[in-house]
Amino acid sequence: MKIFIDVTNLLEVSFVTGIQRVVREVVIRMLGKRKEEIVLLNYSALYSTYLQVDTDTFLTYYKDKQGDKTDIIIENKVEWEDFKAGDVFFDIDSVWEAFLRRSYLLPILKKRGVRLAVFVHDIIPITDPQYCFGETVFMFMDYIGAYLQHADIIISSTQSTLDAIANLQRKLSMPVTPGYATWLGADFEKQSRSEVVSEKAIEAAQAGNYVLMVGTIEPRKNHKLVLDAFDNQLFAEKMNLIFAGKIGWNVEELQKRIDKHSKLNKQFFYLSGMNDTSIDYLYNNAFCVAFPTFNEGFGLPMIEAFERKTPVLASDIPVMREVGGENADYFDCHDWKSFANKLMNWMKDEQLYHHMKEKLMQYEPLTWDQVTNNMWTALETLKNDKPYVLPKEVKQMVFLTARTDDLLGTLPFVEAFMPFIREIILCCPDKMVHEMQERYSGKLKIKFLTDSKLLGGRQLPADHAYRNFFLRCLAMQNSEIDNVFIMSDDDYRPLHEIDQKVFLKDNKYQAYYFYHLDKWCGNQTEPTSFDESMYRTTDFLLQHNMPLLMYDSHMPQIIDKRIFLEIIDKYPDIMDKGLSDWSIYFNYLSKYYADQVEVQPYVTMAWPGYATVWDWDIIPNQYLFENYYHELYEEENIFAGFSQEYYTGIETENFDKIIKYEQSQSSHCTAKQMFQAYRQNYDFLYGEYPFFGITFNEDGCRIDLPAYVTICELNFTRIPFVICDERKSKDSFSITYNFIDASKNVILEGADLTIEPRWNVLELPIKGTHGGLKGVMEIVVSYHNMSFKNYTKLCVMKKDNTKMLP
Amino acid sequence: MNQIYSKLYDIVEEELSNVERQLPCSKTVYMMMTEQEPGVCNELAMQKLENEEFFQMAFISLLRRLPDEDSKRIWQYNIEKKDLVSFRTVLLDTLASSGEAISKGTRVINNVVVPVKQREIVLLNDIITDFVGDRKKREERQRIFDRVYKCYVKMPLPIRHVVRKVLGKD
């Protein structure tokens, strides 16, 4: 399990104070304990990505206090793929000010199965927004809204803050996120004692007994109440008052009152810019510390006063009671008389006052080591329980099939290349049993789970996707199937000998994904049963807050039946929903058993069959299986001339097939890269990315095209058109493209595509002619016997041409 | 619309209204901010906003912050003008090309700032004219070169050497 921590703010600030001080103390100690698990991140707005911070140079600067901050190495990009299911993203800093808003970041991480932990210092911008700067409130709403929805655990310094968060979630009609209170440490690194106490501080302290208030002067801290109490009563009782802290925001009236105060520098002192030694001196010599705040996250000044055995009078609010306990006394923060009376009690009753001081002799604040241990304990709760023991080996393969020929073609490959498989379970129609028994002559032991056995009188759904999911769910409930097995379709063929480690490695299930479900739009013309099943699966996973990777990788994958049955149990009506069994199972596994699964890119050749069928999301870095399509072996197709049947030594041919497929994949990637280069170039020239849009309204259709477009020769370039449909009827439309030369001749006509307007973005595949062409691209959109056109300059680039301008 | 963000906005707005204050941006802008990719100004998505909201959203998406008081003062006149096209075009151009936006790595996408009725559909003839124009210029340049070259080859050798030296060819 990796723990990612965003330290961008900490690296930016020149003076570490407040929240950044907490971040520094916690991160140093977390690195001290389990450095190999921690990844520190710095967000680069310029590259719009996280960069990894080198932990050694980070510690050298922040812990050892050596060198310069510029010595900290920040280099490697951290891509989304580096965040894996089961990893933890832990936000400690004031990230509501970050460039990378959490409303955007957290859903992305969640979809990848990353667990989200956050340290919330307080939610004052929500509960008491009047005390905060407007922009801070606005940004904080984005941050806290995102974490309330997506966090797996909320850590805070106090139970009071957790209670406030829970109340907020109830107000928002949300389930309450598990919380953990850790407190804050007080053993901050002391400043160098070579600093001297300021003369102003000495003068103020020696003027007489005084009440001290430390901290920025702002409305929330309620300095006004204490000043009212002193003006009305306490100055007359010969008590002095010291405010130590800078002037904050929205205190203009109070500031004028301070500046013009009649007792200024006599009984009332305002000290700004005091070093730590001076603050220390003021704490040590104070009669007491006043803390009349309206709201706090923790109230560190209270702990600092306790450390110096100085009594504290604090607001009677839950967080102060929690942090101060019996060590402080409390008053109504809306009533100056309440404060004045409490103070007068101490002034008049020496015994009472000394009793408060004596209590503090026993006081020991929490250390940062203890606080960090508390945080580790909280983070450990994110690890899943492991009720199921993983097997050491897997020997069974389960096929769902209705095609004897395809299965008979695949089984020899399984027998030859997956020697650890000894038994096959076939979920098939009853009529297939006899034919298989007659025709199969291999060595694998085959058992049959026929439709009639599985259905037990139930009706089989007509739709392909509904039927498959229904049958698989039923099959899982059958005792013939092992607890852990390899699930496959009848056309998934291993390309060469493989080891069980492809499925089960280092005590983890290997899970292979090929797309992100929320990006899936199939071929966009006529959605297939498979496509519709993916859309339903996406909705289901979103509804249940699960990751959104697409595991229909068209290759055999390992399944733990016990976990599948858990899914069926948890969602009783799931069997009738026609979902993707692969994606439901593995996303559930990633969410609830993240420590037992390793998610990786898929390893299937010929999925897609033709490299241009859809836009590639994940590119395999090796091929272990083939998704067999007999069409690919027909004349003029990619595998024409290769054997479709197994024979001894077919591995050599398979390697040749891999090379051919990789070449077609590479061409597609080249076209995509060229299009990306064109977009960057366009942005450089015009200050914006090229925009392709189709807007429908009641008046008709508008086609927006950029000043020019560049595509790759001979390959399909998928150009994204943003679709905006303001019509009431939302009818389908057809779209095509033509290439026109300078003499107005149409030299290429694209195919007509009929599109249902359900997409926000349509990817139009446009085939390039031979490179070097400069002409015009015409886009034609038609519906209801109306036709709309627009034109732009076209340049078809040769693959090896570095010039990008038309 | 994300109900959680919407309700959160309402809760905070109510707290602030008790002390006669308000949030610095409208709910529409807030909801749009939570849906947008940071650092990207999606002009198409912003089309439906009123001028004041468009102004706020442009700052949030291009400069990653809310408008400051000085900017509000400078742009207030334009915000109140009814001319959507020029205000929005100039605003986006100004912000997107500012040093602040560049340093923050932000960019505009889906720029359809001109409304339908005012937008000119590009004519095929305009583009063809461009290409033809380019070709004519190239042909003219070639003709001039040919004439100069004919004169050059007729020059005596020493003069040709001098010409080459002057042109830096030797």
- pLDDT for res B119: 44
Quickly state the pLDDT bin for A772 (edges 50, 70, 90).
Answer: confident
Residues in chain B: 170
Determine whether B72 is exposed, middle or buried from the number of CB atoms within 10 Å of its CB (0-12, 13-18, 19+).
Answer: middle
Chain B nearest C-alpha distance from A307 (Å): 36
pLDDT, tens digit, 9 for 90 and up, residues A628-648: 999 999 998 999 999 999 999
Strand partners, A212: A242, A289
In chain A, which residues have their Cβ closer than 8 Å to the Cβ of B112?
A: 691, 693, 695, 704
Determine whether A97 is exposed, middle or buried from the number of CB atoms within 10 Å of its CB (0-12, 13-18, 19+).
Answer: middle
- Nearest residue on chain B to A720, alpha-carbon basis: B110
- Interface size A-B, in CB pairs within 8 Å, comes to 148
Alpha carbons A374 and B108: distance in angstroms, whole number: 45
A393 is written with which tokens? Answer: 């080996």
Average pLDDT over residues A387-408: 92
Residue A805 has pLDDT above 60, yes or no: no
Which is more confident, A398 or A17?
Answer: A398
Which among A45, A172, A695 has CB closest to B39?
Answer: A45
Is the pTM of the predicted complex or chain greater than 0.80? yes
Quickly state the pLDDT bin for A225 (edges 50, 70, 90).
Answer: very high
Three-state secondary structure call for residue A777 = strand
Chain B nearest C-alpha distance from A708 (Å): 10
Residue A803 has pLDDT above 70, yes or no: no
Which among A101, A683, A704 has CB closest to B112?
Answer: A704
CB of B54 within 8 Å of a chain A CB? The answer is no
- pLDDT for res B116: 36
In chain A, which residues have their Cβ closer than 8 Å to the Cβ of B8?
A: 126, 141, 144-145, 148, 172
Alpha carbons A144 and A129: distance in angstroms, whole number: 13
Q: Which of A6, A101, A131, A762 to mutate to test the interface with B (most CBs of B within 10 A)?
A: A101
- Nearest residue on chain B to A148, alpha-carbon basis: B4
Quickly state the pLDDT bin for A583 (edges 50, 70, 90).
Answer: very high
Identity of the highest mean pLDDT range in A45-59, A148-162, B90-104: A148-162
Of chain A, the percentage scoring pLDDT greater than 70 comes to 98
CB of B140 within 8 Å of a chain A CB? The answer is no
Inter-chain touch B108–A101, beta carbons under 8 Å? no
Residue B117 has pLDDT above 70, yes or no: no
Identity of the highest mean pLDDT range in A98-112, A682-696, B150-164: A98-112
Chain A nearest C-alpha distance from B85 (Å): 16
Kind and range of the H or E element at A719? strand A716-725
Residues in chain A: 806
Quickly state the pLDDT bin for A383 (edges 50, 70, 90).
Answer: confident
Average pLDDT over residues A753-757: 79
Residue A682 has pLDDT above 50, yes or no: yes
Average pLDDT over residues B124-133: 68
- pLDDT for res A189: 56
- pLDDT for res B132: 65
Residue A400 has pLDDT above 70, yes or no: yes
- pLDDT for res A801: 57
Chain B nearest C-alpha distance from A743 (Å): 8
CB of B105 within 8 Å of a chain A CB? The answer is yes
Residue A757 has pLDDT above 80, yes or no: no
Inter-chain touch A145–B21, beta carbons under 8 Å? no
- Measure Cα distances from A325 to A370, A568, B100 in Å: 19, 49, 48
Residue A806 has pLDDT above 60, yes or no: no
Inter-chain touch A172–B8, beta carbons under 8 Å? yes
Q: Which residues contact A1 (CB under 8 A, 6 or more apart)?
A: A37, A86, A87, A88, A383, A594, A595
Residue A276 has pLDDT above 90, yes or no: no
Residue A191 has pLDDT above 60, yes or no: no
- pLDDT for res A760: 80
The mean predicted confidence, pLDDT, of chain A is 91
Quickly state the pLDDT bin for A102 (edges 50, 70, 90).
Answer: very high
CB of B102 within 8 Å of a chain A CB? The answer is no
Which amino acid, one-letter code, is at A264? Answer: L
pLDDT, tens digit, 9 for 90 and up, residues A462-515: 898 999 999 999 999 999 999 999 999 999 999 999 999 999 999 999 999 999
Which amino acid, one-letter code, is at A741? Answer: D
Average pLDDT over residues A380-394: 83
Residue B83 has pLDDT above 80, yes or no: no
- pLDDT for res B115: 42
Residue B2 has pLDDT above 90, yes or no: no
Residue A86 has pLDDT above 90, yes or no: no
Residue A190 has pLDDT above 80, yes or no: no
Quickly state the pLDDT bin for A293 (edges 50, 70, 90).
Answer: very high
- Among the listed ranges A58-62, A414-418, A682-686, B57-61, which one has the minimum average pLDDT value? A682-686
Q: Within chain B, where are the H helices?
A: 3-17, 27-35, 43-46, 51-63, 69-80, 84-96, 99-103, 124-154, 157-166
A372 is written with which tokens? Answer: 């960090």
- pLDDT for res A402: 92
- pLDDT for res B118: 41
Q: Which of B95, B127, B134 to mutate to test the interface with A (most CBs of A within 10 A)?
A: B127
- pLDDT for res B82: 65
pLDDT, tens digit, 9 for 90 and up, residues A602-628: 999 999 888 777 888 888 989 999 999
Inter-chain touch B107–A790, beta carbons under 8 Å? no
- pLDDT for res A85: 85
Residue B130 has pLDDT above 80, yes or no: no
pLDDT, tens digit, 9 for 90 and up, residues A704-752: 999 899 998 888 898 999 988 888 877 888 999 999 887 888 888 888 8
Inter-chain touch A691–B25, beta carbons under 8 Å? no
CB of B107 within 8 Å of a chain A CB? The answer is yes
Whether the predicted interface score ipTM is above 0.90 = no
- pLDDT for res A457: 84
Inter-chain touch B11–A724, beta carbons under 8 Å? no
DSSP string, A671-708: HHHHHHHHHHHHHHHHSB----EEEEETTEEEEE--SE
- pLDDT for res A385: 66
- pLDDT for res B88: 86
Inter-chain touch A792–B122, beta carbons under 8 Å? yes
Identity of the highest mean pLDDT range in A182-186, A216-220, A341-345: A341-345
A299 — alpha (psi -120 to 50), left (phi > 0) or beta?
left
Q: How many CB atoms lie within 10 A of CB A649?
A: 8
- Measure Cα distances from A200 to A242, A255, A705, B85 in Å: 11, 19, 69, 60
Inter-chain touch B33–A47, beta carbons under 8 Å? no
